[in-house]
Amino acid sequence: MWCKKKSVIIKIISLTLITVLFIAINSSTSFAKILTINWNEIKFHVPNLSGDIQDGVYTISCAADTNYVLDIAWKSLDWGGNLQICRRNPGTNQKFYISYEGDGYYKIANISSALIIDVENSSKENGANIRQWEDNGADAQRWEIKQNDDGTYSFIAKCSGKALDVDGGIFEESRNVQQWDYIASDAQRFKLEPTEFLPDGIVSIKKATNYNISLDINNTSSKDGEKLQIWQTNESLAQRFYIYNLGNNEIRIRTVASGGFLTEEGTSNGSNVIQKGNGSTPASPSNTWEVGWNNGITFRNKESGLYLDIKDDSEKNGVKVQVREKDNTKSSQKFILNQEQFIKNGTYEIASALGTTLDLENGGSSWGTNILTWEKNNQNNQKFSITYTDSGYLITTVFGHALDVEDGSIKNGANVRQWEDNGATCQRWWPELLDGGYIRFKNAHSGKYLDVANSSAELGTNVQQYEGNDSKGQMWKLIPTNFSGWFSQNGAMYCVDPQTNQVVKNCTRVDPTKPDPAQYGSLYDFDAEGRATWHLPVVSDLPGGTGPSAPIPTLTGDQRQRTLQLALSRLGCPYELLQAPTGFVCDGLTAWSVTTATGIRFRGGTQVDDQDMSWQHVYIREHNGLQTDISQAKPGDIIFWGNPSNIENHGTYGSRHVSMFYHDDIMIHAAGTGLGVREGSITDEQNAFGDFIDFGSPYNDTSQCEIPHSMY
């Protein structure tokens, strides 16, 4: 009892002394003059404790130029993804969920990644970078949202008392966001714009704690009632969904595989989720989902009140997706959504609902060759590359010519042919989702559709453009394929580069009689008929040898070959940070080799030889995509290692090592301290670096596959 009385007495005495001192300082005595304090110069940082900002989804725009908004660079889903400003777009990487955490501070999560806006390394320094990171409850991830006099907002980091700040106060594309002393400048003033979770459009739906796992329709089946499952992310049409926003954070989810809607099959725990119906199916409680947030997006079925859930919280291919009661402790009910291209860049056969396939007339290679339909024959003249551009998809034939509406006509019945790609909108096409797994292609110039004349199934029927209708002549399915082999056309020889799947015309053969293999011809082998094939670089191709004292080799061949030559030349270099070209850490080797060989800025961390493979992971995913079947890896591909399910250490969802695929079971990598740059077995060394995660290509080059002059 005495301790409590003593505490009260001490508090009374302290308050009395403070009051007397305050009166003395503000009196007219000489003592007051000596201790005069300018109260305007003393700043106390006391956050607003009321939590005035409502929890919800916001676009955060720059008050000085609202065309620019906060944005996660490269649409990164990885720890360390950089915060910047960019021109606004519908992307979920520009949407943030703000939630009040108490004591006047908020948490800001990116909708696209479910990661938290974070001051790098909890720095208290001006200029410290801002990024996204795993939610760890640190002060670096808690923000006071301070309202300025003009109604705008500034974000003050709890760890430093400094404000979110646009570098230099310059509003331009990809301008970095940092922290700086709070002065309420234009660089620190933002507007909060409440928005819906999801806009209408094509998305992929991934597990929030492992974006290598996606919701998927088995075999892209168009069967009504096909079950929803999970599968490793592969960007196929089986993993594409169309979001219909009904308002009030209610949505319907239509599958590209069938055109049906994700629907709960029953109203009890464990009921399946299936695709059901078609584009005409009306909204109902069973196919309507309420979108919420719980460290990831949640989907609550409006009929049963149960949540979209991955059975047993599994990450195995083929595990079903069900509905279950809410469970905040599991990651099985937490998802992220990414806006996606409708069609993954690649090579496809374009099959008509009439049973015929898009074809080049007589396999012609010249401009103006007509497009018609024919029976499927698996020839290159029935294979088309489809590539996304901002003005619509470019559809090119095996000869690299574009599907073109003749003379840019806007009339019904205008002919479709192949023509030189000149960037015109009459050569660009927008896909639209139809029922049964079909799509149709709308011309970006005329607004009319790719159409089989008179919807005829007769072989050789002309392909044209025509106004939209419900005929089978405008219904197409995409069948993934690849160009292949060697062939001749109109006196010219063509070959398909097996490394890039690109067709090369009239390449010139280098002279194999020249003595220096590093400069002449060593990168190609010739078969008995004189045909050239891609050659894997080997150490004997490098006259200067390998190791830290070896010169940079004279580079020849395509981007993959050049990159491998550089990596091979560094065998024996020590494991050292920022010592290229004499020493490397793991991502330093891949960064230096790719960047030097190709001119692509393929950095590690913040520079070419820093240690941070997350940037490389994001770059490959955004440019060429990642794959998980290591048997499909090509020489020069970049491999990522770690533990995909390790939630406590997933800089790239577990990635902690990176290597370069060489051939068979062999990779080239900077293996660690005392090991340096070496060749290693992918199988034998897996335990040292964790599980294989995925791999991909950073390259954008068309290899020059070669043929001898005698075959022209």
Q: What is the mean pLDDT of residues 577-584?
A: 88
- Could you report the per-residue pLDDT of 52-64, keeping only the tens digit for each? 899 999 999 999 9
* pLDDT over threshold 60, residue 224: yes
Task: List CB contacts of 280: < 8 A, sequence separation 6 or more.
Answer: none
Q: What is the mean pLDDT of residues 538-562?
A: 85
Tell me: do 544 and 688 sit in the same domain: yes
* pLDDT over threshold 70, residue 20: no
pLDDT of 23 reads 45
Cα 568 from Cα 215, distance rounded (Å): 40
Domain assignment present for residue 2? The answer is no
pLDDT of 34 reads 38
Tell me: do 366 and 312 sit in the same domain: no
How many domains does the chain fold into? 4
Read off the DSSP letter of residue 607.
B
Tell me: do 309 and 369 sit in the same domain: no
Tell me: do 544 and 692 sit in the same domain: yes
The H-or-E segment that residue 660 falls in is strand 655-663
Chosen domain end from 339, 371, 387:
339
Q: Quick check: pTM over 0.85?
A: no
pLDDT category at 508 given cuts 50, 70, 90 is: very low
CB 229 within 8 A of CB 123: no
pLDDT category at 617 given cuts 50, 70, 90 is: confident
Where residue 393 sits, what CATH number does that domain have? 2.80.10.50
The 3-state DSSP composition of the chain as helix, strand, coil percent (nearest 5) reads: 20, 35, 45
Where residue 596 sits, what CATH number does that domain have? 3.90.1720.10
- 198-212, 348-362, 490-504, 569-583: which is most confident: 348-362
* pLDDT over threshold 80, residue 218: yes
Q: What is the mean pLDDT of residues 176-188?
A: 97
pLDDT category at 211 given cuts 50, 70, 90 is: confident
Q: What is the mean pLDDT of residues 81-87?
A: 94
Domain assignment present for residue 379? The answer is yes
Cα 77 from Cα 110, distance rounded (Å): 9
Chosen domain end from 177, 194, 211:
194
Among 228, 347, 258, 251, residue whose Cα is nearest residue 297: 251
Cα 453 from Cα 434, distance rounded (Å): 19
Domain assignment present for residue 678? The answer is yes
- Round the average pLDDT of the chain to a whole number and report it: 84
Residues for the chain: how many in total?
712
Better-scored residue on pLDDT, 650 or 485: 485
* pLDDT over threshold 70, residue 691: yes
Among 522, 698, 457, 690, residue whose Cα is nearest residue 596: 698
Cα 625 from Cα 619, distance rounded (Å): 9
Q: What is the mean pLDDT of residues 556-576?
A: 89
* pLDDT over threshold 80, residue 613: no
Domain assignment present for residue 525? The answer is no
Better-scored residue on pLDDT, 647 or 579: 579
Cα 304 from Cα 290, distance rounded (Å): 11
Q: What is the mean pLDDT of residues 290-316?
A: 95
Domain assignment present for residue 349? The answer is no
Q: What is the mean pLDDT of residues 689-711?
A: 61
pLDDT of 251 reads 96
Kindly tell me the burial class for residue 662, based on how many C-beta atoms sit within 10 Å of its own C-beta (0-12, 13-18, 19 or more).
buried
pLDDT category at 468 given cuts 50, 70, 90 is: very high
Read off the DSSP letter of residue 401.
P
Among 137, 143, 125, residue whose Cα is nearest residue 181: 125
Better-scored residue on pLDDT, 599 or 593: 593
Tell me: do 309 and 376 sit in the same domain: no
164-173, 332-341, 510-519, range with the lowest pLDDT: 510-519
Tell me: do 190 and 276 sit in the same domain: no
Residue 395 half-sphere exposure toward CB, CA atoms < 13 A: 30
pLDDT of 632 reads 85
Read off the DSSP letter of residue 551.
P
Domain assignment present for residue 523? The answer is no
Tell me: do 189 and 207 sit in the same domain: no
Domain assignment present for residue 371? The answer is yes
Chosen domain end from 339, 366, 394:
339
pLDDT category at 686 given cuts 50, 70, 90 is: low
Residue 418 half-sphere exposure toward CB, CA atoms < 13 A: 26
- Could you report the per-residue pLDDT of 356-402, keeping only the tens digit for each? 999 999 988 889 999 999 999 988 899 999 999 999 999 999 888 99
pLDDT category at 654 given cuts 50, 70, 90 is: low
Tell me: do 167 and 254 sit in the same domain: no
pLDDT category at 502 given cuts 50, 70, 90 is: low
* pLDDT over threshold 80, residue 527: no
Expressed as residue numbers, the domain containing 235 is 201-339
* pLDDT over threshold 80, residue 15: no
CB 230 within 8 A of CB 310: yes
Q: What is the mean pLDDT of residues 282-311?
A: 96
Other CB atoms closer than 10 Å to residue 13's CB: what's the count?
Answer: 10
* pLDDT over threshold 90, residue 452: yes
Percentage of the chain modeled with pLDDT above 90: 59
Tell me: do 647 and 667 sit in the same domain: yes
pLDDT of 271 reads 97
Other CB atoms closer than 10 Å to residue 652's CB: what's the count?
Answer: 28
As a dihedral over the C-alpha atoms of residue 226, residue 228, residue 232, residue 237, rounded to 10 degrees, the angle is 60
89-93, 164-168, 210-214, 558-562, range with the lowest pLDDT: 558-562
Tell me: do 613 and 553 sit in the same domain: yes
Cα 319 from Cα 262, distance rounded (Å): 16
pLDDT of 51 reads 59
- 112-121, 487-496, 681-690: which is most confident: 112-121
Domain assignment present for residue 35? The answer is no
- 5-19, 141-155, 500-514: which is most confident: 141-155
Tell me: do 306 and 403 sit in the same domain: no
138-152, 447-461, 527-541, 559-573, range with the lowest pLDDT: 527-541
Q: What is the mean pLDDT of residues 474-482?
A: 93
Tell me: do 362 and 334 sit in the same domain: no
